[in-house]
Amino acid sequence: MKIKFLALSVIMASASVFANAQETENYYTKKATDNIFFGFGIGGMTVINGGVNSPTLNLNIQLGKYITPTWGIRAEISGLWQSLDEQDNNWFVTNEERYSNHCKMFGELNFDAMLNITNWIGGYNPDRAFDLYLFAGPTLNLASKGTEFTGELAGDGSALLKDADGVKVHIGATAGLGLAYNLSNKWAINLEGRFGVTPSIFGDASDCRKAEATGRLTLGATYTFGGKKFAKVGDCNRVVEKVVEKEIIKEVPVEVVKEVIKEVPGAASAAIFFKIGKSVISPEGMVNVKLMAKVIKDNPNAKYKVAGFADKATGTVQGNQTLSEKRAQAVYDALVAEGVNPSQLEKVAMGGTDPMFEKGYLNRVVILEVQK
C-alpha cells in the first residue's frame, strides 16, 4: 500500500508540472515575493487499520506559493494527536490494562504540490467564487517509538507489548482534495480532506505497523500576502516592446526622424518579439505586422529590411543563426500574406548578437525598418 501512495505522490507532482507547462503560455508571476500565502486549519484525524479508530483533534499551519493560477507548492506542519483503539490480537500491558483508546502526541510535516482543477479545466478567472484543488506529496512525522513485542504471551495466548524508548521519524506519502471559497483576492475559506500512509507511530501495537493509513478533515482559511497577482505573458511582451521603442527613440535624433517622415510618408520601424527558442509570431507581434503591412503598402516605392536576431547568451552560434533566419522568414511571410509586395522586402539573419538594448533577452526580435 505504501508503494502505491508514493507512486500517487509522484503522479500528482508530475500532473502539477504538466499543468504549469500549459498555464505559463498565458500567465506568470512577476516577482518571487508575489502570491505567497499563509494558512491554518482545525479538524479531526483518525487512524485507519482494521477499521476507523476514534478521531482526535488535528491542527495545521501552512506556508506556500501559487506559481501560476493552476499550480502551487506549500509546506504544512500538523498534529496533535493520534488514537489507537483496542486491537484484536495485541495486548498492551501497563498496570495490567489493555492497550485501549490510547492517545499519543505527534507532529507531522507535509510537502505538497497543488493542482487547481478548476483553473486547469475552466481557465483562470479572478472573480470565481469556488476552486477545487488536489494536493499530494511526501510526509514525515515525529513521535516516540511506540511499542514493541516482549516475546511473552498473555494467559489467552495473545502477545504482550511494552513501551519502546526514544523518538523515531516515520516517512510516507499523503494526498488529498480541497475546496476553497474565495472571500476576496486575499482571503479564502478551505475545506480539505487528506489521506496518508506511514509506518505506525504506535509500533507493534498496530496491526498495520509498517504501513498504517490515516485520514483527516479540516476547515481553515488562507491569506495571500498582497492578494493574488498573475500577469499575462502577452502583457509582458508588450512591456518589452515599449522598452525597445524607447531605446530606438533615444538612439535616433529627432531631426533624422523628421527627415525620414518627410521623404517617406507614414514610414516607421517596428520590433516583433519572440519567446526564447521560438520563431512563432505572437498575437501581439501580429498587431505590429499588420500595422507595418499597411504602412509599406501605402509607400510602394520604399524598401524595407527584415532583420532577424537571437540572444547570444543562449544557444549555440549555429543554432542562433538558424533561429534568426526562421524569425526573419516568419515576419517576411506574414507581411506577404497581408498583401505586401515581396520586392519591397529584404531578409537578413543576424544570428546571436550582443545585447542591443541593454538586456540580452531583448535580442529575441525581428526589426523591420526602412532602407536608406
**CATH number for the domain running over 232-370:** 3.30.1330.60
Residues 6+ apart with CB under 8 A from 191: 178, 179, 217, 218, 219
Residue 208: predicted pLDDT? 85
Name all contacts of 162-169 with Cβ < 8 Å and 24+ positions apart.
Answer: 162/93, 163/94, 164/203, 167/142, 167/143, 168/142, 168/143, 168/144, 168/201, 169/140, 169/141, 169/142
User: What ranges do the domains of the chain cover?
Assistant: 2-224, 232-370
Q: Which residues contact 101 (CB under 8 A, 6 or more apart)?
A: 54, 83, 85, 86
Question: Cell 517576411 belongs to which residue?
Answer: 332
Burial 307-332 (b: 16+ CB within 10 A, else e): bbbbbeebbeeeebbbbbbbbbbbbb
**CA nearest neighbour of 124 among 176, 66, 76, 63:** 66
Helix ranges (DSSP H) in 278-348: 283-298, 317-337
Cβ–Cβ under 8 Å, residues 326 and 204:
no
Topology of the domain covering 2-224: Porin (2.40.160)
Per-residue confidence in pLDDT tens, the chain, 372 aa? 444 444 444 444 444 444 443 433 467 777 889 999 999 999 999 999 878 888 999 999 999 999 999 999 999 999 988 888 865 544 444 434 444 456 788 899 999 999 999 999 988 888 899 999 999 999 999 887 777 776 676 666 666 677 777 788 999 999 999 999 999 999 999 999 999 999 988 887 788 888 999 999 999 999 999 999 887 765 544 444 455 445 444 444 445 444 434 443 344 578 899 988 889 998 888 888 988 899 889 888 888 999 999 988 888 889 889 999 999 999 999 999 999 999 999 999 988 888 887 777 888 899 988 886
Q: What is the pTM of this model?
A: 0.57
pLDDT at 269: 73
